Amino acid sequence: MSRKLGAIQPIYRSGIHIKDAVSVDHPGEITQSYIDLFVKLGGQVIRDDIKRLSKRNEKVILHGRHQYIADEVVIAAGPWSNDLLKTISSPLPMCFERGYHKHFAYPQGEILTRPIYDVDYAFVLSPMTQGYRLTSGSELNDKDAEINTVQLEKAIKSVQNSAVLGEPTNNSLWKGNRPTLPDSLPAIGPHPKCKHVWLAFGHQHVGFSTGPTTGRLIAELMLDQVPFIAITPFLPKRFF
């Protein structure tokens, strides 16, 4: 590459431009829009700290600050799903691909208009509402282990060869626990041993994009409809 390409420094010999990819600049706002639509359609949002589940006759009981009685329950708590599941069943064999990111203010001059992924140095730099978001690679560790920013610190040094960053924004360090199952597929469907309990978790790094699909699959299964895609590879019974 013999010239500067927009906000990217001329250090790369080649790259792949994926034209049909899409990105978002504020995942939280999109999630809130889903919640608003759910409420508009008649849904109710209840925020509680559910500690355990139990069964009573043909009902499922959720125990938190209050007690809730449900005909059907979907466990879709991401990396915390096993914490609930193990109160009513054996948990699934889950590990965690922990990830970190940090935000930086936009610099003066040209800025990126799309995310870039540096394969050699294993970081992604994305333009967001809050500025640039720098994401490092995966850390295999327990979800409750202490924060370890070694990868992120290396990415911060590496990205400065690729693009100009502004100052880091205050309190922007984020750590996420990505729930991963042994076959790299999520668990979607009925619990084979606990009637009226459904599972929808284990999406690794792609839960934001595959969440709507998972919701549709769970709804079709609960209504005894034919799923719009083959469901067998995702059924939780493969672990029981």
Domains 46-94+182-239 and 95-178 share a fold: no
pLDDT in tens, 12-42: 989 999 988 889 999 999 999 999 999 999 9
pLDDT for 21 equals 86
Looking at the chain, how many residues does it have?
A: 240
The two beta strands, 197-201 and 73-75, are parallel
> Quick check: helix, strand or coil at residue 133?
strand
Flag whether pLDDT at 4 surpasses 50: no
pLDDT for 171 equals 85
Distance (Å, whole) CA 52 – CA 69: 12
Asked if residues 132 and 125 have their Cβ atoms less than 8 Å apart, the reply is: yes
pLDDT for 3 equals 38
pLDDT for 1 equals 33
Taking residues 144-172, report their average pLDDT: 93
pLDDT for 191 equals 98
pLDDT for 6 equals 66
Kindly report the pTM of this predicted structure: 0.90
pLDDT for 198 equals 98
Distance (Å, whole) CA 86 – CA 188: 17
List Cβ neighbours of 200 (8 Å cut-off, separation of 6 or more). Answer: 74, 75, 76, 186, 187, 188, 214, 215, 218
Tokens for 16?
């792949």
Taking residues 115-123, report their average pLDDT: 93
Give the homologous superfamily in CATH for domain 95-178.
D-Amino Acid Oxidase, subunit A, domain 2 (3.30.9.10)
pLDDT in tens, 180-233: 999 999 999 999 999 999 999 999 989 999 999 999 999 999 999 999 999 999
CB atoms within 10 A of CB 93: 12
pLDDT in tens, 42-95: 999 999 999 999 999 999 999 999 999 999 999 999 999 999 999 999 999 999
Could you tell me the fold of the domain covering 46-94+182-239? FAD/NAD(P)-binding domain (3.50.50)
Output 194 or 7, whichever has higher pLDDT: 194
Taking residues 160-181, report their average pLDDT: 93
> What residue segments make up the domains of the chain, in order of their start?
46-94+182-239, 95-178
pLDDT for 172 equals 86
Flag whether pLDDT at 124 surpasses 90: yes
User: Which amino acid belongs to residue 184?
Assistant: S
